Amino acid sequence: DWNGFGAMPEDEQRRLRQLIETAHAQGRQLRFWAHPDRSSVWGLLHDAGMDWINTDKIPELAEFLDLKEEE
């Protein structure tokens, strides 16, 4: 239900982490389609361990990921 504005509710964060952990335990990678295409969502997915971040904003995502690597 989270739209990428404000903080993601803790129960949704927990579910996201569980989905990622389950996929990784099965030796699978995970990518979501149709999530809000903004840096707040990219950051949350990245920090949760998402394997692939889907976007139509490739240059912006590349810049975002470059900044994440510098952290």
The model's pTM: 0.87
Q: Are 61 and 38 in contact (CB under 8 A)?
A: no
What does the mean pLDDT of the chain come to?
94
39-57 confidence digits (pLDDT tens)? 999 999 999 999 999 999 9
Q: How far apart are CA 68 and CA 71, in angstroms?
A: 5
DSSP structure class, residue 47: H
Closest CA to 16 of 43, 39, 49: 49
